[in-house]
Chains A and B, each alone.
Chain A
Amino acid sequence: MIELDRAGRSFKVKRSVVHAVQNLSFTVSAGEFVGYLGPNGAGKSTTIKMLCGILTPTSGTVRVAGLDPSRRRTTLARRIGVVFGQRTTLWWDLPLRDSFELIRHLYRIDRAAFAARLDELTGTLDLGAFLRTPVRQLSLGQRMRGDLAAALLHAPDVLVLDEPTIGLDVVSKASIRDFLLRVNAERGTTVLLTTHDLGDIERLCRRVMLIDHGRLAFDGTLDDLMATAPEQSSIEEVVTRLYTGSAS
């Protein structure tokens, strides 16, 4: 579903060249739930932007759902859902429901299918109480649930999440995690999750990829990841070892 083959992206900043991502290769199969970890500035967001087609790789190739994202961005947009935890795609001043209606037109979703999906998402994400509330009045947890619904209304094959639980309380985090597990298990949606919350990784991801300095530093199951450190280490300790180890 997602294939990167020696993908790289560099930026020219003044006279120097910064390699945000270098020689990155991995494959994510349909239906997988993959955690994508890395310290700040490691190249996670750059990878996500290449997957969405916002950014063209400067070397190598990227394919998502069989498409070259940067060339087929519009087509791909209909098959991919993206959530940036620190940003919102919802209309700040209008009721949540209005943003969903706009998405219906944006993705040309059939009216009946839209109603069915919205009903389902309203139930699973518990949106009913605030569908008619302007987005600016929503709590962060409510807004994030709204953003998740917005990303899934067009039934994408792939869901890319960039820190979806950032700033959320434990209850909101738990409900979002449960929801993501359901989406992955019941609908077979492929999920790529970027997060700094290792609780998300432990709870959700069977497979973990770790990127550092723009290169893939680890790719394996959660158990493989834990096995890289002495027994009894917490996941925080394991990841800290990998971050600092690959940095040295």
Chain B
Amino acid sequence: MRCGAPGPRRIIASFPSADPCAGPGTVRDRALTPWRCKTFPLYARLVRYGFRKHATYVRGALAGAFTNSVFGILRAYTLIAVWQARPGLAGYDITDAITFCFVTQAFIGPMQLFGGGLTIPERIRSGDIALDLVRPASLQLWTLAEDVGRAAYLFLVRGIPPMLLGALLFGISVPTRPGQWAAFLTGFALAVIVSFGWRYLVALSVCWLLDDRGVTVLSMVLSTFFSGMMVPLHLFPGWFGDLVMVLPWAAMVQLPTDLYLGTAAVADTLAVQALWAAVLLGLGALGTRAIRHKVVIQGG
């Protein structure tokens, strides 16, 4: 992608001339110049690579889709039993409940709700993170771009099959208005970023904890319970119900699902998601700065 004014054209001969961008003492590395626009193709390419990297393991993804579908059916029958006994629970009718079940099953892969998806903990343990830190690019943005590619691939391969199966076996509702689709897709994209922001912080914690197993289990419990994966968060009563709806995990599953169902106030919901995305990315940026002083101990 070309953007901005073309600016002075850089002609670089072959070896040994160095990139003029890199001249010592220039202000170019700090200033916002048309060259900055060139960072976009880098991250766009990283999104593509993240997608293709996961596309290598298509059988693994299909096995995941099968598991998500089977568990979707089990969950659907449980929810049907509950909603037959208590119609209108959580403000959902029985079709909403079944739709909720399969939409949230579809989120497991893209939002990586059971944790993981990032290679950072492994790279911190092995010391490979040193190579990531040498690159003239932000570790956090680099990882985010790759993760967006991963989420896109898993949405297609692990997200859509459970929804189709749910539609076929039980019938699920589908947004009818274009605005509802736009709200859902925006909410879905924000949910991917919130999920990344949370997992990135969990991944960075390896630097301080040396082992990520404990924090990964804790994260999995929080992500499955407080996101709405287990049961719709609207079931929780009183202040607890209000609280869980504004926590970051709700922004990963419950809020985008409500946008899909059309039961949420669009602007408020997207605002909560955007706020959490910004907060978690901000904390991630601080964490990235902090690990520059830390990882090297294990680097070897």
Knowing A49-B296, A82-B134, A107-B136 are in contact, say whether A75-B14 is a contact too (CB < 8 A).
no
Residues of B within 8 A of A52 (CB): 130, 134
In the assembled complex, B41 has its CB within 8 A of some CB on chain A: yes
Hey, which chain B residues are within 8 Å of A77, CB to CB?
A: 134-136
Chain B min CB distance to A147 (Å): 10
User: Which among A13, A93, A112, A155 is the interface contact of B297 at CB below 8 angstroms?
Assistant: A13
- Provide the main secondary structure of the chain B interface: loop
Nearest chain A residue, comparing its CB with the CB of B43: A105
A162: shortest Cβ distance to chain B, in Å?
9
Enumerate chain B residues within 8 angstroms of A82, measured Cβ to Cβ.
Answer: 131, 134
Q: Among the listed B19, B24, B45, which residue makes an inter-chain contact with A107, where contact means beta carbons less than 8 Å apart?
A: B19
Residues of B within 8 Å of A, CB-based: how many?
42
B130 touches A54 (CB 8 A): yes
* Whole-angstrom CA separation of A155 from B21 in the bound complex: 12
A54 pairs with B296, CB closer than 8 A: yes
A226 in the interface (beta carbon within 8 A): no
What 13 additional pairs, Cβ within 8 angstroms, besides A65-B24, A108-B21?
A54-B296, A56-B293, A66-B25, A72-B29, A73-B136, A75-B24, A77-B134, A78-B21, A82-B131, A94-B49, A105-B38, A110-B11, A155-B19
Q: Can you name 10 A-B residue pairings with CB atoms under 8 Å?
A: A45-B300, A56-B292, A82-B131, A102-B42, A105-B42, A109-B12, A109-B19, A110-B12, A117-B14, A157-B18
Taking Cβ atoms with an 8 Å cutoff, the residues of A that contact B are 11, 13, 45-46, 49, 52-56, 65-67, 72-75, 77-79, 82, 84, 87-89, 91-94, 98, 101-102, 105-110, 112-113, 116-117, 120, 134, 154-157, 186-189
| Residues of chain B at the chain A interface (Cβ within 8 Å) | 10-19, 21-22, 24-26, 29, 35, 38, 41-42, 45-46, 49, 52-53, 56, 126-128, 130-131, 133-137, 292-293, 296-297, 299-300
